[in-house]
Structure 1
Amino acid sequence: MAKPQKGSHLPSKSARHPAATIGSGIFTFLVLICVGGLFAARYGERAFNGPGPLTQEKAVVIPRGAGIRDMADTLEKAGVIDNWFTFLAGLKLTKPTANMQAGEYLFKPGQSMASVIDTISSGKVIQYSVTIPEGLTSQQVVARLMENDMLAGTPSVPLEGTLLPETYRVVRGMSREALLKEMAEAQQKVVRLAWERRAPGLPLRTPQDLVTLASIVEKETGQADERPKVAAVFINRLNKKMKLQSDPTIIYGIVGGRGSLGRPITRTDISTATAYNTYAIDGLPPGPISNPGKDAILAVANPPKTSDLFFVADGTGGHAFAETLADHNKNVARWRAIEAGSRAGAPASPGAPAAAN
């Protein structure tokens, strides 16, 4: 038998082909990738659906025109989420069709990324209340809206008496023009319904007349239960061809939409004729002197049946009503006693009809 020569080598039983070694390495690498990917997926799933970093409620504005990455950055900087990449990955994998909308949103403590996406894609932005009191002029309404920094734009002043004082829901960035349009549409609905359901025989020719008288009623009393009584007095006076003699019409004739005279009414003011001064003109003025509320409009459309022709302040914040001039003069005397020491030359009562001529 031949013997191996010195220095010769026999192949080892444990030696492996190079291709097998490379394949084994690749397999091991892929296994590690799969295991790592599994761990990464589990981590990402927990991060995406687990509690977020917020410890208390927080409002965040998502700017108009912001892309998805910009939104993610904004949320991370605000502390709503703790990782923008996980947020984007979760969005693409789980909710690729979500409609992410700009606006101001309120996020809750511990809210998950998945829930944050639901909040933004719902479009349920934070709403705020804007209340416009009854009896403001349109110029005063616009001035009030300009003071609200949540609203945008510089609107034109609407026609007097075309807005409905009410509480409106707005969102940050809403245009003032859009809110005024909403107020005008609301007023048109109220006036249309009131006109359709008005009492028969009213001395009012048009819905505009209804609003004009309602604006005077609104300025005459701040007490809700008195509006129907005041409306009845003015309706009775119109039916009898008596001058309305309403002090707020004097003020509007002098200052217009500014609304406030800034001083007491004088005897000269009362006797100076303007287009709106109902001490000087017959019937209604040419248009509203304010924006009346719904209750004043309805009070004029369906006033109670009374014989009252006069009213004057009673010293309690309300008014004393009377059918006759004699009774009215007694009420005036009582008010004068209460008013004693006040300004000289004032009319019988602030914002109330004086005795008929």
Structure 2
Amino acid sequence: MLVTLLVAGVLAGAAVGGWFFQRDHHLRAFAATPVSLPAPVTVDVPPGIGPRTLARRLAERGVVTDAELLYLYLRREGLGPRLKAGEYEFSGALTPAQVVEHLVSGKVKLYRITVPEGLRAQEVFALLAASELRLDARKLEALSTDATFLRLTKVPAKSLEGFLFPDTYAFPRGESEEAVLDRMVMRAYAEYQRAAEATKPRVHLGMVEAITLASIVEKETGAPEERARIACVFHNRLARGMRLETDPTVLYALYLLRGAYPKNLTREDLRTAHPYNTYKVAGLPPGPIANPGAAALRAALAPDDCDDLFFVSRNDGTHVFCPTYACHEALVKQWQVDFFRAAPAKPPEAKP
């Protein structure tokens, strides 16, 4: 009787061992068999999701073929606690083991957004709100003038205008408005420091002043080769105590006064009293009027060496430059009077 029981026990143990061996072999085969995805698949992994629920979600999206086997694999490897929340993208041919490795790595899906040079803060906020990041434009705008947030980001101004560096960024879905703005500000600091290393000896501008001048240069020309020369004109005017008399600052002043940009500037607009109106106020305006890029920052701190005090638009995005007022008057007649008289057309709208 005892021998019979011992034999039965051995056989039962062998059967259980065989079952575990088979299961383990099956799991290894499952984990190593790739699944080819015909198109990228995005799966959201919320915080606190359980391994079984996650396995089912991945199977429903076609990332793995068997939810139960994936769950058993996660349990066997003890990976449940190591899974990280976030939005993940899967593409191509992936084995379940590679899928799990991706989830453990925390390499969440990133959304790229490009912020062009020369946008105003409100335009940047609208761009971020319309992107796949789904940020709150009203919160972004509130943060941009919030004293506490400005102090945390070490912005030495009353708003983030000028400190939202134009670049291509990559953020995960769910990134906070604070984190996005902070990253842009940090990029602005880094680019300013790079530009400051090449500052010419005759240039004496603090950070806010340099960014302010760079923002004016950015708005005055779309021709990259002109930035340093336009900056030279403004530096020459500042050195002589002349007003800058630059239209983009008037447009910004009118925006602050009226909440909207005019399509065209009038003589009355140029006479409007405001700290940002450089036709009325000497020196630089109180702060930036847009968010300049790296090239404009370099131009503001390392301008060309020139004698020019004026520039006139050729009506094609470029300018002609003059050292004297007499020369300037002649060019205004040529490019702003005779040009439109010879080819009647609606003058180009002022660009904010």
Q: State if a TM-score over 0.5 links the two structures.
A: yes
Kept in 1: contact 2:270–2:277 (CA 8 A): yes
Superimposed CA distance per residue, residues 95-153 of structure 1 (whole angstroms, 9 cap, x where no aligned partner): 54872111222223331111111111112222222111122222222222122242445
Instruction: Kindly indicate whether residue 263 of structure 2 is the aligned counterpart of residue 280 of structure 1.
Output: no
Q: Which moved more, 1:333-342 or 1:209-218?
A: 333-342
What CA distance in whole angstroms lies between the structure 2 residues aligned with 1:67 and 1:257?
A: 55
Question: In the TM superposition, what is the alpha-carbon distance from 1:277 to its structure 2 partner?
Answer: 1.0
Distance 1:86 1:132, change over 3 A: same
Q: TM-score, normalised by structure 1?
A: 0.83
Instruction: Kindly indicate whether residue 17 of structure 2 is the aligned counterpart of residue 54 of structure 1.
Output: no
Q: Which residue of 2 aligns with 1:322?
A: 322
Q: Which residue of 1 aligns with 2:172?
A: 171
Distance 1:112 1:259, change over 3 A: farther
Instruction: Kindly indicate whether residue 198 of structure 2 is the aligned counterpart of residue 217 of structure 1.
Output: no
Q: Which residue of 2 aligns with 1:332?
A: 332
Q: 1:99 aligns with which of 75, 82, 85?
A: 82
What CA distance in whole angstroms lies between the structure 2 residues aligned with 1:241 and 1:260?
A: 31
Q: Which runs of 5+ in 1 are unaligned?
A: 1-16, 352-357
Letter in 2 for 1:290: A
Question: In the TM superposition, what is the alpha-carbon distance from 1:314 to its structure 2 partner?
Answer: 0.9
Q: Which residue of 2 aligns with 1:83?
A: 66
SS in 2 for 1:289: coil
Distance 1:41 1:257, change over 3 A: farther
Distance 1:22 1:195, change over 3 A: closer
SS in 2 for 1:108: strand
SS in 1 for 2:88: strand
Question: In the TM superposition, what is the alpha-carbon distance from 1:175 to its structure 2 partner?
Answer: 1.4
Alignment of 1:32-181 (within 5 A): 32-52=15-35, 54-94=37-77, 96=79, 99-153=82-136, 154-155=139-140, 156-158=142-144, 159=159, 160-181=161-182
What CA distance in whole angstroms lies between the structure 1 residues aligned with 2:196 and 2:280?
A: 28
Identity, % of aligned pairs?
Answer: 34
Superimposed CA distance per residue, residues 178-220 of structure 1 (whole angstroms, 9 cap, x where no aligned partner): 1101111221232244345421222x44222111111111111
What CA distance in whole angstroms lies between the structure 2 residues aligned with 1:291 and 1:73?
A: 47
Q: Which moved more, 1:96-105 or 1:256-265?
A: 256-265
Instruction: Kindly indicate whether residue 170 of structure 2 is the aligned counterpart of residue 187 of structure 1.
Output: no
Kept in 1: contact 2:51–2:80 (CA 8 A): no
Considering only CA atoms, is the larger Rg found in Structure 1 or Structure 2?
A: 1
Distance 1:56 1:216, change over 3 A: closer
Kept in 2: contact 1:211–1:292 (CA 8 A): yes
Kept in 2: contact 1:139–1:157 (CA 8 A): no
Instruction: Kindly indicate whether residue 297 of structure 2 is the aligned counterpart of residue 297 of structure 1.
Output: yes
User: Please, what is the CA RMSD of the aligned residues?
Assistant: 2.7
What CA distance in whole angstroms lies between the structure 2 residues aligned with 1:339 and 1:66?
A: 67
Greater helix content: 2
SS in 2 for 1:59: strand
Q: Which runs of 5+ in 2 are unaligned?
A: 145-158
Letter in 2 for 1:289: I
